[in-house]
Amino acid sequence: MRSFKGIGLLIITNLLIMFTLIISGNILINFILPQFGIDLRGSVATHEFAWALVFGFGGAFISLFMSKWLAKRGMRMQQVITPSTPKEKLVFDTVKQLAEREGIKMPEVWVYWDDAPNAFATGPTRNNAMIAVSSGLAMSMSDDELKAVLAHEMGHVTNGDMLATTLLQGLMNTFVYFVARMIARPIMERNYFMGFMVYMALQFMLSILAMIPICWFSRRREFRADAYAAGAFGSQTMIHALQKLHALSQQNAVAHEGVHQQEDALATMKIYGGFSGLFATHPPIEARIEALRSQKRP
């Protein structure tokens, strides 16, 4: 039931984003920009590029600004404002301590009910972020390990990873929309249905290619977040946390062997990832541990 709710929410959100971009794009291109001497209604290529920018960056930034709202409604969550358990107090105080150290507004702290040990950070800016921790993570980690994981997520916040990823996503989206549209346009002029099918196929294939640099950046940001956590609580503490996550993920894989599980729509925000190769959003835990060990060496 929860997966159907998440899928429905995702469809409705994407439809709302599409209609918003169509309306705002028409107003921007046809009315606002010409008032400033910027006329993008001329050549076909210029007009298509303008729309590619509107959909590419517009969609990415709307998704960024809705990320907290989507996360809260896609999972069964509870905000921690007044901690009522030792674990909640540990999570709340650690996030507060790191935020004060960085001189930023404290992110919202949330817990969600999931046996899988995970945590994620999201939000449009460093001063408007949230950090969420699963019940499985809180219960399976020692206090020091949990602090390291929280510091990793705070690393994403303080490094501005959400905004940087959005900018890269917007750039890749623009490339996909523009190239697919320009190639398909001559076919559309002769046969709209055939051209539309070519456009959709190109958009699908180019979107897959565009994920390669996005995933590469995602893997780089994981190393930086690990380094931040190591600076906050020590490399060895972060290594222990990663080793614990690795062991728990292996146990979880064995427990669910032979059962197909759908990936969560928010999986890219989680602290560990699965797929290897060009499309992995997270580096192998072994590589992250080795990077932390290298950081300790003189």
What single-letter amino acid sits at 61?
A: F
Name the active-site residue from 48, 153, 222, 290: 153
153 is catalytic: yes
Q: Are strands 119-125 and 108-112 parallel, antiparallel or unpaired?
A: unpaired
Give catalytic residue positions: 153
